[in-house]
């Protein structure tokens, strides 16, 4: 589940409290790149109270001309949410969800216009990711890594390589990031494995772990040391690549982020990427905060549903009427709103090419990761014994909420980076 690019940092939901992303009462969705989505509520203020999804005067909101993608995401998410519990239980990849995202046109829309895409803004991408992650966090995570790998290979490859990967994405091929090494910890952008020179390129003998969606990927974004310098390559799946099934986890179970083994795999010279620069924002580093915001919103929704429906026998009033619950709910609502705003600000900074985008991304990820855990913890406390049962969505959101803070850069690494920066500045 690691990110890629020079600025990389490292929900399933029943809908947010009081509002919904549903496409209709029957949960059906008819979507396409033309924007013909039958979505329930119009895109107004977002459910978290954060940036408006419909544009207007909010600079952090998706551009008005891209609003149809928000409606498409909402329609898809209503169906994804219905499948989330079963996917968590089985640990199977959400293939129907991933195919639906591609069929909607969202995959291709993320490509630069020069590669035949729409060049969607990071603001729109972030909101789509939040909506999808709230419905099914495993789907959101795999899609984030898929788009990040594909866009990186198209953006950083030479013209021939770029055209090849753009065509593969358009055709529906799957992409995955193979960056984190078993011994490198959070330093996934600084590989320890050396690629050895060979005819036509380099050979890699090693392994990468936590590669979300790797088992169905045809193409991998791989990093290795070349003459001591971290270097990205595009690698097509072949017989030298195999998988070790390590992914038996407490949360994000349907990402199936296995360990990938490379047995003298050829890293082709013509698939070598140029080094990423300041003008190359990667969707993964920008999007990780939104992934956790979606998880937090889903956890809040499940908590609120339980609190409204649980009647205290002694009083005849719902649990939501208890002062400690209302106080905690208010605090978590404001924290989710703040996390959403920080994440949305990061996407806006990426769109305008701001030099402080990386700093903002690390801060947004740090806060969103912690808020997701806090909201999910409140859900368990409000849910009590009922929320502790495997049949409750509350426990599922609690498990999923732990993942964001472990993904590179972890909460601890983010705190170290931010803390050193602000102390040095003073």
Q: Does 375 fall in a domain? A: yes
Last residue of a domain, one of 271, 303, 324: 271
Cα–Cα distance between 152 and 397 in angstroms, integer?
Answer: 30
Q: Does 70 fall in a domain? A: no
Cα–Cα distance between 101 and 111 in angstroms, integer?
Answer: 14
Which pLDDT belongs to residue 56? 58
Last residue of a domain, one of 251, 271, 291: 271
Whether 359 and 311 share a structural domain: yes
Whether 419 and 305 share a structural domain: yes
Which pLDDT belongs to residue 317? 96
User: What is the domain-level CATH number for residue 186?
Assistant: 2.40.110.10
Q: How many domains does the chain have?
A: 2
Give yes or no for a contact between 220 and 176, defined as CB atoms under 8 angstroms apart. Answer: yes
Whether 421 and 287 share a structural domain: yes
Can you list the positions of beta strands (E) in 32-174?
none
Whether 331 and 392 share a structural domain: yes
Whether 287 and 215 share a structural domain: no
CA distances from 294 to 155, 187, 272, 343, 398 (A): 27, 26, 34, 11, 13
DSSP type of residue 272: B
User: What is the domain-level CATH number for residue 405?
Assistant: 1.20.140.10
Q: Does 148 fall in a domain? A: no
- What are the per-10-residue average pLDDT scores of the chain (426 residues)? 37 34 36 40 42 69 96 98 97 98 98 96 98 98 98 96 98 96 78 94 96 98 95 98 96 96 98 91 93 98 97 95 97 98 97 95 98 98 93 96 94 95 84
Whether 195 and 290 share a structural domain: no
Which pLDDT belongs to residue 58? 85
Whether 332 and 390 share a structural domain: yes
Whether 288 and 419 share a structural domain: yes
Give yes or no for a contact between 153 and 272, defined as CB atoms under 8 angstroms apart. Answer: no
State which residues form the domain around 326: 283-425
Q: Does 316 fall in a domain? A: yes
Which pLDDT belongs to residue 278? 82
Last residue of a domain, one of 218, 251, 271: 271
Q: Does 36 fall in a domain? A: no
Sign of CA dihedral 66, 68, 74, 76: negative
Whether 312 and 332 share a structural domain: yes
Cα–Cα distance between 147 and 125 in angstroms, integer?
Answer: 10
Whether 194 and 315 share a structural domain: no
Which pLDDT belongs to residue 383? 96
Q: Does 411 fall in a domain? A: yes
- What is the pTM assigned to this prediction? 0.88
Whether 291 and 401 share a structural domain: yes
Which pLDDT belongs to residue 33? 44
Which pLDDT belongs to residue 136? 98
Whether 241 and 297 share a structural domain: no
Q: Does 78 fall in a domain? A: no
Q: Does 239 fall in a domain? A: yes
Q: In what order do the strands lie in the sheet with 175-178?
A: 175-178, 219-226, 229-236
């Amino acid at each position: 589940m690691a990110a890629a690019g020079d600025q990389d940092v490292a929900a399933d939901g029943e809908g947010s409290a009081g509002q919904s992303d549903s496409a209709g009462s029957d949960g059906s969705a008819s979507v396409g790149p033309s924007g013909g989505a039958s979505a329930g509520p119009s895109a107004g203020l977002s459910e978290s109270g954060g940036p408006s999804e419909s544009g207007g005067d909010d600079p952090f909101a998706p551009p008005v001309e891209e609003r149809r993608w928000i409606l498409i995401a909402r329609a898809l998410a209503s169906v994804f949410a219905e499948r989330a519990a079963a996917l968590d239980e089985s640990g199977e990849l959400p293939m129907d969800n991933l195919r639906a995202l591609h069929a909607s046109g969202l995959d291709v829309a993320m490509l630069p216009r020069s590669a035949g895409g729409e060049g969607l803004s990071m603001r729109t991408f972030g909101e789509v990711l939040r909506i999808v992650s709230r419905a099914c966090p495993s789907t959101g995570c795999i899609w984030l890594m898929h788009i990040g790998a594909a866009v990186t290979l198209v953006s950083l490859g030479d013209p021939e390589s770029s055209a090849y990967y753009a065509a593969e994405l358009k055709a529906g091929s799957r992409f995955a990031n193979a960056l984190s090494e078993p011994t490198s910890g959070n330093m996934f952008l600084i590989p320890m494995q050396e690629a050895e020179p060979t005819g036509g390129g380099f050979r890699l003998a090693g392994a990468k772990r936590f590669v979300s969606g790797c088992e169905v990927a045809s193409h991998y974004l791989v990093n290795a040391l070349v003459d001591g310098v971290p270097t990205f390559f595009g690698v097509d799946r072949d017989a030298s690549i195999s998988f070790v099934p390590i992914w038996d986890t407490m949360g994000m179970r349907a990402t199936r982020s296995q360990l990938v083994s490379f047995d003298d795999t050829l890293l082709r010279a013509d698939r070598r990427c140029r080094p990423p620069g300041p003008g190359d924002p990667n969707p993964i580093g920008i999007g990780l905060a939104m992934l956790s915001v979606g998880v937090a919103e889903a956890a809040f929704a499940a908590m609120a549903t339980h609190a409204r429906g649980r009647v205290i026998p002694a009083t005849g009033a719902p649990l939501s009427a208890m002062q400690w619950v209302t106080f905690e709910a208010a605090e978590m609502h404001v924290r989710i709103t703040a996390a959403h705003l920080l994440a949305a600000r990061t996407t806006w900074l990426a769109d305008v090419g701001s030099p402080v985008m990386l700093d903002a991304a690390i801060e947004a990820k740090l806060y969103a990761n912690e808020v997701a855990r806090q909201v999910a913890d409140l859900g368990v406390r409000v849910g009590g014994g009922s929320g502790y049962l495997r049949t409750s969505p509350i426990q599922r959101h609690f498990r999923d909420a732990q993942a964001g803070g472990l993904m590179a850069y972890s909460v601890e690494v983010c705190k170290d980076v931010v803390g050193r920066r602000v102390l040095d500045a003073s």
